[in-house]
Amino acid sequence: MAKSKEEKTNAMRILDRMRLPYRVNYYQCDAFTDGMQIADLLGQSYAQTFKTLVAEGKSGRFHVFVLPVDQELDLKAAAREAGEKNVSLLHVKDIKAATGYIRGGCTAIGMKKPYPVVIHKSCMSFEEIIVSGGALGVQLFISPAVFIQATGAKTADIILREPAV
């Protein structure tokens, strides 16, 4: 059973307060499923569907990285963009305490604290991108410009490239 359209997440309330446009997609999801499985289930493009990863820098500060669901974060590039010596992904058990969101429902919009956000530069090639809406079973369709405005994100090349053989 789909969630009612009246249910607003923190991310939606923030976008509403900022008067920024977005569309919501509710789908059935009772437990964490990775972004590629959700994209497959909903017939969505991997390149247009973005996941949110949280990393901790050597400084102890948190940083948020947003990239296509089928890509892997380049930790060296991420550290460079974050101005850190290195970064490591936050352990799943620590996500809610750091962000206020659960695994699978984590979005860069409306985290507990305003962490620096970097989104992969490929987002700019789409009219809309798909990101988590802040809860399991909720997606936001949002323009990259609106996402950047809402999060203060910068764009960069942060995905891991396989070394040439």
- pLDDT for residue 33: 74
pLDDT in tens, 43-82: 999 999 999 999 999 999 999 999 999 999 999 999 999 9
pLDDT tens-digit profile of 85-112?
999 999 999 999 999 998 888 999 999 9
Question: Strand 87-89 and strand 50-57: pairing?
Answer: antiparallel
**Under a CB-based contact definition with an 8 Å cutoff, are residues 110 and 122 in contact?**
no
Residue ranges with strand state E in the chain = 23-26, 50-57, 62-68, 87-89, 117-120, 129-132, 138-142, 154-156
Q: Distances from the Cα of 105 to the Cαs of 20, 102, 110, 132, 139, in angstroms?
A: 20, 5, 12, 6, 9
Closest by CA position to 26, among listed 132, 143, 141, 139: 139
Q: Are 130 and 139 a contacting pair, CB within 8 Å?
A: yes
Domains and CATH numbers, the chain: 23-156 (3.90.960.10)
pLDDT digits 0-9 by tens, 5-47:
568 999 999 999 999 999 999 998 877 678 899 999 999 999 9
User: Taking 70 as the threshold, does the pLDDT of residue 162 lie above it?
Assistant: no
Q: Residue 3 above 50 pLDDT? A: no
pTM of the model: 0.91
